[in-house]
Amino acid sequence: MKSLNSASVLSDSKTRTCLWSLFIAASLICGAYFICSSFISKDYRGRLTRWQVIYGMQKPNSNACKGQSRSSGKNPKSDTCKDQCRPSGSEVLPQGIVVKTSNLGMLPLWSYHEKNNNPKPSMSLLTIAAGIKQKEIVKKIVKKFPLSHFVVMIFHYDGIVDEWRDLEWSHHAIHVSAVNQTKWWFAKRFLHPDIVAEYNYIFLWDEDLGVENFDPRRYLSIVEREGLEISQPALDPKKSEIHHQITVRSWKSTVHRRAYKFRGHGRCDNNSTGPPCIGWVEMMAPVFSRAAWRCVWYMIQNDLIHAWGLDKLLGYCAQGDRTKNVGVVDAEYIVHMGFPTLGGSDKNEMPSEPHKVNRRGEVRMQSSIEMEIFKKRWENATKEDICWVDPYGKPSNQSSHRS
């Protein structure tokens, strides 16, 4: 009986030892599993989070541009990354390599990156829609704008470029050619705000302007002092073709913002708050600040190339009160010659078409049609956008102007 008991005790001891060994082995295996899982899970979550951030930034309606960091979440880095405002298409790139804007400056093929400690002068942009018939007039205009402070861009609406190459400034200018297109067609396609973001002011001028009494640097100093976001030089009333009273030069002031008319239809007095009395300029020689142009560019319609009707709505882009930020500079004035170049056989003939039919009447008709289309689009847009508030109330009726 004693022997039987001893055998039983020995058997129980071996069983306990075996079970304990199995327990220890299982514990080690489980521990190893959980440790490995932790590392794998951490790495997976990290990768997943990174791709979730990229995916979130790629979504059109993502919160990538909220502008405020939310560091209280479980992953502050992820939340911060979501708040970075990135241009569409650049989300998969590191932010430091993304270049959002450009310019129209030409660069040399060599020695460009040599160290230059000279401060870069502030630059503005002069653009002119021109045909070869007005070469001498354009030559005089460009000579007034020193290349040290202005980039020059010529829009050749007649397709002739080579005949400008004899002018000393021609190889410094940007030349863009498209036959029978207006300056607004060119501007919409080649003057995107991100392309001209480095320029303080954008001159969007016609070709038929006399500049004998105009100095662009003095003009801009007045514009800056007066706080004008949208402006134009006044017109010499004795030599210019005048379409609107507000453009006529005042002999008694440096700048005027208001026109007066006390008789007939559409009177203008000190109580007037909008166009045609105040808050706009005509379209033959407008000058826009960088901020104003960013707004105006969006208002230019891609398919309405004459831009009639746009002038009376420029005040919405004045970066504030249009009665203060839009004006006509009297101290620096120009002459508007009024050449009917677009569609006119006398001024816009192609060399291969000496007997081209005069299409000027059709051009004006198309301009009027486009004005009505633009007016209707504006009215519809103001009704459909429930979030938009008109700071000026109902705008005045738009009137036509020349191309």
Helix (H) or strand (E) holding 130: strand 124-130
Secondary structure (DSSP) of 335-372: EE-----TT-TTTS--TT-TTPPP-HHHHHHHHHHHHH
Q: Which residue has the higher pLDDT, 248 or 75?
A: 248
| 364 pLDDT above the threshold of 90 | no
Say yes or no: 192 and 283 in one domain: yes
Shared domain check, 202 and 343 = yes
Looking at the domain assignment, is residue 119 inside a domain?
A: no
Pair 236, 321 in one domain? yes
Q: Which domain holds residue 90?
A: 31-100
How confident is the model at residue 70, as a pLDDT?
A: 39
Report residue 66's pLDDT band, with 50, 70 and 90 as the boundaries. Answer: very low
Q: Is residue 187 part of a domain?
A: yes
| DSSP calls for 195-246 | TSTT-SEEEEE-S-EE-TT--HHHHHHHHHHHT-SEEEEEE-TTTS--S-GG
Confidence of residue 105 (pLDDT cuts 50, 70, 90): confident
Over the chain, what is the mean pLDDT? Answer: 82
Residue 107 lies in a domain: no
pLDDT tier for residue 339 given thresholds of 50, 70 and 90: confident
> Same domain, yes or no, for 154 and 197?
yes
Does residue 390 lie within any of the structural domains?
no
* Torsion angles phi and psi, residue 110, rounded to 5: -150, 160
Residue 25 lies in a domain: no
Alpha-helical runs (H) found in 59-182: 76-82, 135-143
Rounded to whole angstroms, the Cα distance separating 210 from 310 reads 24
Q: What is the distance between the alpha carbons of residues 287 and 277, in angstroms, rounded to a whole number?
A: 19
How many domains does one find in the chain? 2
Question: Both 143 and 269 in a single domain?
Answer: yes
Asked if 188 and 227 sit in the same domain, the reply is yes
Q: Do 230 and 353 belong together in one domain?
A: yes
Residues 230 and 276 in one domain: yes
> Would you say residue 391 lies in a domain?
no
| Last-in-domain residue among 100, 133, 149 | 100
pLDDT of residue 64: 41
Q: What is the pLDDT of residue 14?
A: 59
The answer, yes or no, to whether residue 56 has pLDDT greater than 60, is no
Residue 255 · residue 222 · CB < 8 Å: yes
Query: Could you tell me if 156 and 286 lie in one domain?
Result: yes
| CATH assignment at residue 349 | 3.90.550
Residue 313: pLDDT over 90: yes
pLDDT recorded at residue 263: 83
Q: Stretch 317-325: mean pLDDT, rounded?
A: 96
CB atoms within 10 A of CB 138: 23
Residues 181 and 322 in one domain: yes
Please check whether residue 300 lies inside any domain of the structure: yes
Residue 40 has pLDDT above 80, yes or no: no
* pLDDT > 60? residue 398: no
Confidence of residue 50 (pLDDT cuts 50, 70, 90): very low
Give the amino acid at 48: L
Question: Does residue 76 sit in the same domain as residue 189?
Answer: no
Residue range 172-189: average pLDDT?
96
The pLDDT of residue 39 is above 90: no
Do 40 and 141 have their domain in common? no
In a domain, residue 264? The reply is: yes
Report DSSP letters for 255-279, one per residue. EE-B--B-SSSS-B-TT--STTTBS
pTM to 2 decimal places: 0.75
